[in-house]
A and B are shown apart, each in its own frame.
Chain A
Amino acid sequence: MNDAVPAIAYDHVCKTFKHGRVTALSDVSLTVAAGEFLAIVGGSGSGKTTLLRLTNRLLDPDSGTVRVHGDDVRKVEPITLRRSIGYVFQSGGLFPHMSIARNIGITPHLLGSSSTEISTRVAELLDLVRLDRAGRDRLPHELSGGQRQRVSVARALAAKPRIVLLDEPFGALDPLTRDALGEDYRALHRELGLTTIMITHDMAEALLLADRVAVMHNGHLIAQGSAQELSKNDNAYVRELLDTPRRQADRLQELLPKGPQ
């Protein structure tokens, strides 16, 4: 694989909704290197989810191009493209009438893998996301929120994608589960050599997990870079976003004595 070709490249993409009355993205250009973990941070309506959906053609841009591994996505059949990219929803998006195993194995099934292949793969994935193999026949509603998100990650990884898109994946979870799941995913990202884009509105989460953070506001990409690079940015919105975790960190530092060693 040529490292010089970015895994994902958005080139001057624009997107409007409701017949042009609502602008979701205006002239956004951004590249994600192969193996990189990029977080996109922004408030609701900033265009971050729209940008993510252009990647696997859940949406198509009005203008500009999106390239995945150098290929213009408009030249790739959307179904094929989507099967080659993992996607995790905030709510999990699990199919409520299918067992855990069937949910996880759905993309390999669509790709025509044999049932024994799928069964082996499901077992592997359950181990990978640290779920009990014995629970494979349970239905989604029988699991906790954290377990459901683990299943959702396993489903995204089932067809061995090189790219995974996370759409506020840990947003609805309690802080402990959220932290554990974030760390576990981060490890998987490294082990499997994935390219990941994660959307979040939580700057702290973004800074802790990602290699690089892009900040979006009102459809514009206003800043991007590592934590250090962003801290030097003088955009008011970026500073505001960074101030909150900073203040919290300082305050926590004061409040919490070091735990027992």
Chain B
Amino acid sequence: MSLWSDPRWSDALTRLPDYLGNHVRVSLTALALGLLISFPLALVARRRPLLRDAALGVASVVQTIPGLALLALFYPLLLALAAFSLRWFGVDFSAFGFLPAVLALALYSMLPVLRNTITGLRGIDPAIMEATEAVGMTARQSLFMVELPLALPVIMAGIRTAAVWVIGTATLSTPIGQTSLGNYIFAGLQTQNWVFVLFGCAAAAALALAVDQLLALIENGLKIRSRIRVALGAFGIAALILATLIPSMERARTSYIVGAKTFTEQYILSSLIAQRLQAAGLPASSREGLGSNVIFEALASNDIDVYVDYSGTLWLNLLKRADMLPRQGLLDALKTTLSDRYKITLLGELGFENAYALVMPRKRTEQLGIRSIADLASRAGSFVIAGDYEFFSRPEWATIKQNYGLAFRQQRQMQPDFMYAAVASGDVDVIAGYTSDGLIAKYDLVVLDDPKRAIPPYDAVVLLSPKRSADTALRDALKPLLGKINITTMREANLRASTNDGNSSPDSVARWLWDRISKK
């Protein structure tokens, strides 16, 4: 199979209008907003040292916040603001996706515009500034006739830097629900789809370059007073925005939106749900790569309509419950609480659990006679355990250690994809893996029993937004999935998606999965 006949290229291409359009809209809106704030601020601040230092200081500090964190911070902030506005003004707005992304990116664009505008204006020869006064210009005339034209190259350099930064950083707005070219990158990294990663990076770079060149055309036109060039540049940018509006106009506003978190299984399940809805004649689109704290709020505020979460996650992280109930009891309690507190419907379980579990190679457990976590207690002192970035700070880790009296020689944090290979090769002795991960079967690993129930059940459950709670068409379309996906099937699906070939896209795996469960 040649490189170009790989079906992932055409898959990537069909998503381009949507991803690119959203990317252009969010980054150009952010850039315009950033300019609208920072340009006048620079004009006001240039001769006021205190304001100037304060504005540049704040903008510099913003710049040091990693883009992903800045974007993530805006979501809860806006959520609180939306609740406040609804309560006091009766005006509701969505804190999901576009708005937080635009605000965070606008903030990000401010430093280069502020700094270059101030530097450009202050760098003008004092003799020329005196001349503007001596010939009888007002401050305004001096600004527009002399200062801005002379500072133009420096100011435009700032705007162009801001544009490139914003377009690049906008790829990080995927986890807060804003579709962007980052969707390729997030999905590609999670599902080992390097075609997507490359495609996303190349598209973002091409867009940044195109906008930069259009701005250069405008700059050049302003400098040599060529109206044609300015008009061409402005027209280019306008055309870019317009072109990206067309595909989203076509998309029905009433379409069902399926959410997915940032890991492989979620991509597969959201594809599966979207395919089921489409098969039932319901228009569906997915919003992938959402942060785990973002996705539930998005569902509660009707920004997405359906997604799959896990009972233990909801219990511990969302409801902050410390008590442990048996599997069915926990599901029942969850169902009532979600409905009472959030008007969210727990439609049902898919049939498998994706829990944390302590995992070891089968051969090793047989040699050492280890069956459950309890058997580890005597050996933990000489063992090294590895987990993902959050495991060791999660409540169940504290419970495991306490209930079984475990004290490992060393704890190591790892990228989840690498843990399984590490334990299989003996680099570490035990890992905190995920029960539905396909790599468990691939490396011939076993999940250790948890007789003391330290780890809560993590049943995969389908959640519906408040708006869709009475939607029978939706319920009917999803019912055939409930209770049908067992752990072996899900592991195999996850394994298929983590290989790097043409049939490993979440869409193809979802079709395989449906094929598999519908035949039972």
Which residues on A are within 8 Å of B, measured CB to CB?
56, 58, 79-80, 82-83, 87, 89, 91, 93-97, 106-107, 110-111, 155
Contacts and interface: CB of A to CB of B under 8 A. Distances in A.
Contact of B136 (A82, A89, A94): A82
Given A96-B150, A97-B150, A83 B136 contact: yes
Interface string B135-147: 1111001000110
Contact of A82 (B133, B146, B149, B150): B133
Contacts of B127: 89, 91, 93
B249 interface: no
Interface in B259-318: none
20 contacts: A56-B134, A58-B134, A79-B137, A79-B138, A82-B133, A82-B135, A83-B136, A87-B134, A89-B134, A93-B128, A95-B131, A95-B146, A96-B128, A96-B150, A97-B149, A106-B135, A110-B135, A110-B136, A110-B141, A155-B135
Which of under 10, 10 to 19, 20 to 34, or 35 or more describes the interface residues of B? 10 to 19
Contact of A93 (B131, B136, B149): B131
Contacts of A155: 135
A29 to B, nearest CB: 24
Given A95-B146, A96-B150, A97-B150, A107 B128 contact: no
Given A94-B131, A95-B131, A79 B150 contact: no
Pairs of residues from A and B, 4 with the lowest C-beta to C-beta distance, nearest first: A93-B131, A83-B136, A87-B134, A82-B136
Nearest to B146: A95
B250 interface: no
Given A89-B127, A96-B128, A107 B150 contact: no
A147 B48 CA distance: 38
Nearest to A58: B133
Contacts of A58: 130, 133-134
Contacts of B134: 56, 58, 82, 87, 89, 93
Nearest to B131: A93
B135 A107 contact: yes
B146 A107 contact: no
Given A82-B136, A87-B134, A89-B134, 5 more contacts: A82-B134, A89-B131, A95-B128, A97-B149, A106-B137
A4 to B, nearest CB: 29
A79 B136 contact: yes
A94 B135 CA distance: 10
A94 B132 CA distance: 9
A101 to B, nearest CB: 14
A111 B137 CA distance: 10
Contacts of B133: 58, 82
A58 B136 CA distance: 10
B127 to A, nearest CB: 5
A155 B136 CA distance: 12
A83 B133 CA distance: 9
Contacts of A110: 135-137, 141
A89 B127 CA distance: 8
A106 B136 CA distance: 9
A155 B135 CA distance: 8
A106 to B, nearest CB: 5
B135 A87 contact: yes
B132 to A, nearest CB: 8
Nearest to A107: B135
Contacts of A79: 136-138
A12 to B, nearest CB: 25
Interface string B104-144: 00000000000000000000000110111111111001000
Contacts of B149: 97
